[in-house]
Amino acid sequence: MHRTLKLSLLVLLAGLSFDTYAQKTANVAISTDSKLTISRFIYGQFAEHLGHGVYGGFWVDKTLPVPKQDRIRLDVVNALKRIKIPDLRWPGGCFADEYHWRDGIGPRLQRPKMVNTNWGNVTDDNSFGTSEFLELCQLIGCEPYIAGNVGSGTVEEMSKWIEYLNLDGESTMATLRKQNGHPAPYKVTFWGVGNESLGCGGNMTPEFYTDQYKRYSAYAKNYPGAKLKKIASGPNSDDYNWTEVCMKNIGTGMWGLSLHYYTIPSGNWGHKGSATKFEEKEYFNTMVNGLKMEELVTKHSAIMDKYDPEKRVALVVDEWGVWTDVEPGTNPGFLYQQNSLRDALLAATTLNIFNNHCDRVKMANLAQTVNVLQSLILTDKEKMLLTPTYHIFDLYKVHQDAKYLPVKLNSPDYEFDGKKIPAVSLTASQDASGKIHVSLVNLDPHNNITVTAKLDGLEWNHITGQVLTSANLTDINTFQHPNKIHIENFSNAKKDGDKLIVDLPAKSVVTLELN
């Protein structure tokens, strides 16, 4: 009797051990059956006149002891150059539809001051205007993406801004640009025709907005060497009717249609949740809400396909990211939040979604670049740090303008409180030199996952890798410890015949290079 009981206990413990510690597995097939390219503009950024994003972020006091060109902060510029950001969207955001561009040109001391009514009612002295923004883009080596004022502006105002920037000839606007120190045209091609016109950009109906778009668009002229890529103000989140009306009334008369979606950890705009103090429940809910991006991109794309089966109109997700409550003690109108490992995992998962929908998603812009929302960079006077999200864009820069490799994934689930989501996501591409890059995310905070990938028709022998992870989901980089979360070399991947085997750590992002 005693021996039987002992044997039963051993069997029970063995079963418990297997259930608790069994390695989870995922299987993926990666093929070359694609003629698609992952647009580099998916990795775009966003800089609004908001909080310390522009003033105190990019544009600093002339006495601040950091390297500068004029008042442009060069350590920030160099950090963005390293990750090859392709474009920068400016001046907003909601600010765009109260911004009048002529206030931001000419001698700075003569520029009128304005009140930023959207973000904290602070005074903006317009010292950072059109020429300063375009110099910033030139220093970074990125394309400017300007959002025009449809909400409180006029057709003439936007038309003259385009003429001022792009005409290589004789006119009052071109002469004014030359007088302000830039003889050659800037040739800005990306233009937003308004921003969030359904809300802060004018509270318009889609029918009214599409008429306004066509009117503004008619006077947004193409000048030699500067054919415009006009982007219509699109839906917020799951407003599928807005997309339907825009596609029906505008169709291919636009280069792109914008989509805005923010991941709110709690799902409640009134109390979004802390950036740093959260438990696994809040983490899980953040990922559930973030993964809604897959549904949004799929459904909006399906509507666009009805009117544009050749996919000539881009879906432009030009505001996305995690939006939490502001850091305690900071101005609530400045939207300053910290940036944790959780945010990095969300960023990588979202970029995987965009890459895997690169047939329709041609541009996206993280909100925002410096000191605002899910930023890449935080500054405090002369101090600067790179956030975990910055490191994701560093890991993923290899996918810019690379050939998209389709993936078929069978992922285990990450389960919490009776709910579940796929634990693994990934994207793959092949660059011009033939190197294959695979980026993988494990959202499960507890379990390593063995990923077995079969790469059909792809020749490779050598593997290198990099990983981003940390001990805790709440880990952050601070000015006292700016490198707590950083990229490290990754060696837990191997070639097994024609398969790739990866031991993907819990709560991690890995990018592999195969050649």
Q: Are 352 and 29 in contact (CB under 8 A)?
A: no
Read off the tokens for 405: 């490799």
CA dihedral 286, 288, 294, 299 (to 10 degrees): -110
Q: Are 94 and 333 in contact (CB under 8 A)?
A: no
Read off the tokens for 152: 């409180």
Gap between the terminal Cα atoms of the chain: 61
Q: Are 49 and 107 in contact (CB under 8 A)?
A: no
Q: Are 297 and 361 in contact (CB under 8 A)?
A: yes
What does the alpha-carbon distance between residue 198 and residue 500 come to, in Å, rounded to a whole number? 47
Q: Are 169 and 212 in contact (CB under 8 A)?
A: no
Read off the tokens for 184: 């050659």
Read off the tokens for 112: 């009128």
Beta strands in 40-130 (DSSP E): 44-46, 68-69, 72-73, 87-90, 114-116, 122-124
Give the 3-state secondary structure of 286-329.
HHHHHCHHHHHHHHHHHHHHHHCCCCCCEEEEEEEEECCCCCCC
Judging by beta carbons within 10 Å of its beta carbon (0-12, 13-18, 19+), is residue 399 exposed, middle or buried? Answer: buried
Report the catalytic residues. 196, 319
Bridge partners (DSSP) listed for residue 441: 425, 509
What does the alpha-carbon distance between residue 424 and residue 135 come to, in Å, rounded to a whole number? 41
Q: Are strands 424-430 and 403-404 parallel, antiparallel or unpaired?
A: antiparallel
Bridge partners (DSSP) listed for residue 464: 513
What does the alpha-carbon distance between residue 388 and residue 319 come to, in Å, rounded to a whole number? 19
Sign of CA dihedral 358, 362, 366, 369: positive
